[in-house]
Amino acid sequence: MAAPRGRFAPSPTGRLHLGSLVTALASYLDVKSRSGQWLVRIEDVDQARTVPGAETDILRSLESLGLYWDGPITRQSERTTLYEDALQQLAARGLAYACSCTRSDLASLPRSPDGETIYPGLCRQGARPGELPPAWRFRTDLAPTQVEFADEWQGVRRQDVAAETGDFVIKRRDGFHAYQLAVVIDDAEQDIDRVVRGCDLLDNTPRQILLQRVLGLRQPAYAHVPLVVEPDGTKLSKSRRSVAAGALGAAEALHAALTLLRQPPPDDMAGAKPAELVEWAVSHWQPQLLAGLRSIQAPAGGLGSGGVSD
């Protein structure tokens, strides 16, 4: 049997922070405990949001943490031809169409519990002419859209994509291909068979599985990591909880991340170097301890209160 392949796919919009470290570490431990390969993909398809120098900073931080990747770094910005080819394939089959709806057109439409617009296919018969380029949507009324999958840590998930999201965007009006399409093409092209990522992307997964089905692509195994939140339950403050690249700070950050993942190192590893912590964590990885957890609270002090110093 071939070694499993997992990936960490950060967006270069800022520094690595405690939440993204937890996700990266869980992904790394998951695949390395299975003697697999861990790839890094930079999700920079949206160049307008890319922060200069952020990619270098993230990669330096991963190295200082002892999280070394296998193979070359890939970048979504260099793969847009693959996404466009997939879009054109869907369009040729009548499964994708141009949409001219504006934000004001969408404002009165029903929304899902998480606030996303449920799009009913207003432009299925043709987009209105206009000055702005259209978006492109996947058509959900021409294929079975009931999706059920077993997430390894969050259990069985079910979603009727047509009813709960409607026709979803696969290419935006600004010309950037949407995450839903890009990630499906990337995972298939890189032979990723294990996707470990944050719970904030759990509800996106059925849309991606639907695209995998119609494009004839293999569905990887999914495991969604609980989100790291502030002690009061609010979204993690990324700016206050950034993880710098210094070795001393890296050891502290790793210890904090492992503790959040319910895998705290023993007391006799208090002074361990990053590489030693990672080696211990790979051999003692117990993912079942994350079963059913949707969120975990960041520490109120220490690393969480002021970030990590170089």
Question: Do 177 and 243 have their domain in common?
Answer: no
Which of the residue ranges 48-52, 237-241, 284-288 has the most confident prediction, judged by mean pLDDT? Answer: 284-288
Question: Do 159 and 82 have their domain in common?
Answer: yes
Contact 194, 223 (CB under 8 A): yes
- Res. 75: pLDDT tops 70: yes
Question: Which of 171, 235, 238, 273 is flagged as catalytic?
Answer: 238
**Residue 217 included in any domain:** no
**Residue 304: band (very low, low, confident or very high) from pLDDT cuts 50, 70, 90:** very low
Q: What is the pLDDT of residues 185-218, one digit of tens each?
A: 999 999 999 999 999 999 999 999 999 999 999 9
238 included as an active-site residue: yes
**Residue 308: band (very low, low, confident or very high) from pLDDT cuts 50, 70, 90:** very low
Q: Which domain holds residue 155?
A: 78-190
Question: Do 67 and 136 have their domain in common?
Answer: no
Question: Do 177 and 84 have their domain in common?
Answer: yes
Q: For position 302, what pLDDT does the model report?
A: 47
Give me the mean pLDDT over the 105-111 stretch. Answer: 90
**Residue 262 included in any domain:** yes
Q: What is the CATH number of the domain that holds 157?
A: 3.40.50.620
Q: What is the pLDDT of residues 150-161, one digit of tens each?
A: 999 999 999 999
Instruction: Provide the angle, in degrees to the nearest 10, between the axes of the packed helices 80-92 and 205-215.
Output: 70
Question: Do 71 and 91 have their domain in common?
Answer: no
**Averaged pLDDT of the chain:** 91
Q: For position 303, what pLDDT does the model report?
A: 53
Q: For position 14, what pLDDT does the model report?
A: 84
Question: Do 98 and 167 have their domain in common?
Answer: yes
Question: Do 95 and 134 have their domain in common?
Answer: yes
Contact 40, 8 (CB under 8 A): yes
Boundary of a domain, candidates 144, 165, 190: 190
Q: For position 137, what pLDDT does the model report?
A: 98
Q: For position 247, what pLDDT does the model report?
A: 47
Per the structure, the count of domains in the chain is 2
Q: For position 305, what pLDDT does the model report?
A: 36
Q: What is the pLDDT of residues 14-47, one digit of tens each?
A: 888 889 999 999 999 999 999 999 999 999 998 8
Q: Which residue has the higher pLDDT, 284 or 310?
A: 284
Question: Do 65 and 92 have their domain in common?
Answer: no
**Residue 254 included in any domain:** yes
**Residue 221 included in any domain:** no
Percent of the chain with pLDDT over 70: 92
Location of structure tokens 């702005």: 132
**Residue 301 included in any domain:** yes
Question: Do 177 and 262 have their domain in common?
Answer: no
**Residue 206 included in any domain:** no
- Res. 234: pLDDT tops 50: yes
**Residue 298: band (very low, low, confident or very high) from pLDDT cuts 50, 70, 90:** confident
- Res. 237: pLDDT tops 70: no
Question: Do 186 and 82 have their domain in common?
Answer: yes
Give me the mean pLDDT over the 35-61 stretch. Answer: 94
**Residue 198 included in any domain:** no
Question: Do 96 and 182 have their domain in common?
Answer: yes
Question: Do 71 and 16 have their domain in common?
Answer: yes
Contact 194, 36 (CB under 8 A): yes
Phi first, then psi: give them for residue 176, nearest 5 degrees: -85, 135
pTM: 0.92
Q: For position 245, what pLDDT does the model report?
A: 44
Strands 295-297 and 169-171: unpaired
**Residue 40 included in any domain:** yes
Boundary of a domain, candidates 163, 190, 217: 190
Boundary of a domain, candidates 133, 164, 190: 190
Give me the mean pLDDT over the 94-114 stretch. Answer: 91
